[in-house]
Amino acid sequence: MLGYLLKRLIQMTLVLWVVSVIVFLMMSFTGDPVFMVVPIDASDAEIAQARRLLGLDDSLPVQYWKFLTSLLQGDFGRSYVFRQPAMTLILERMPATVELVLVAMALAIAVAIPLGVYAGANPQSRISRVIMAGSLLGISLPGFWIGMVLIYLFAVHWGIFPSSGRGDTVEIFGIRLSILTWDGWTHIVLPAVTLSLATMAIILRITRAGMMEVGRQDFMKFARAKGATRGDVLYKHGLKNALIPVVTIFGLQLGDLIAFATITETIFSWPGMGKLLIDSIYRADRPVIVVYLMLVALIFVVINFLVDVIYMLIDPRIRLK
């Protein structure tokens, strides 16, 4: 286990280093940040001074070395727009994104797993076909369109839920959370449903495929032969052995939703990292974009590591090599 952990740590470090190179090169060739920090009527001398202060008059290798050493020290620079440390801005918005994603993933799992098990155990039934047709719609319909439809129906037409914002929040250990208030829950329902539908459909289809594959195995026949109830056969024997691909998809989708909840957050004016990223891209706020990209890369490598560990917990036959 120790050797495996060291190997994965080296792999994670290498991946993050490659991401840092890509992010640096991408930021270096996407506009000049000097004009974000100097007045419109700045003279050539003021522009040159700003370029010198930002280190942009150095060669690319020197700029990257300074960039990398700053990252290792946790210094991502100050936002050109908000005049605050970029990391502080991201961390302030992160709880909103995380709670939205966790609610969306919990909703997706709660709906997709039972429906996937049923559809896999009864593949020819009419209800199963309806479930699979619904999952196909969930994958095919674009999220921004679903969000607008939900806003029109539940916020504008029926007035059940609010259409934007995060609602009331409560501070716990210095972190502001909206899921601990009723007003916060009313605000999170629509964006969480919008964000969860595609993930719900994917997990449902993966669960169904896994259950159909497991259902043909001998141990399932033996479980039925020894008199186990249908529920025990499906959930204790079948689902446990069909969970490995589901865990893989869950991990990938969790990272994907955290990284790319930007459209949903923009539609519902949800004050999370995604909306901050969109605003920063519009304003060419380079430090905030860099923090976001590096944080997302870190989240992905950590989630992939945790998924590999969960594999072994689900199926002890899997060995870490």
Angle in degrees, 0-180, between the axes of helices 86-121 and 240-259, rounded to the nearest 10: 150
* The pLDDT of residue 72 is above 90: no
Tell me what pLDDT residue 315 has.
Answer: 64
Q: How many CA atoms lie within 13 A of 198 on its CB side?
A: 21
pLDDT tier, 317 (very low <50, low <70, confident <90, very high otherwise) = low
> Which residues touch 88 (CB under 8 Å, ≥6 apart)?
none
Residues 188 and 178: beta-carbon distance below 8 Å: yes
Q: What's the confidence (pLDDT) of residue 3?
A: 72
231-277: per-residue pLDDT in tens? 777 777 677 777 778 888 888 888 888 877 888 998 998 988 888 88
Distance CA 260, CA 86 (A): 19
DSSP letter for 168, please: -
Closest among 55, 220, 86, 201 to 134, alpha carbons compared? 201
More confident residue, 305 or 203: 203
pLDDT digits over 172-192, tens only? 888 888 888 999 999 999 999
**CATH class name, domain 95-293:** mainly alpha
- Residue 320: is its pLDDT beyond 60? no
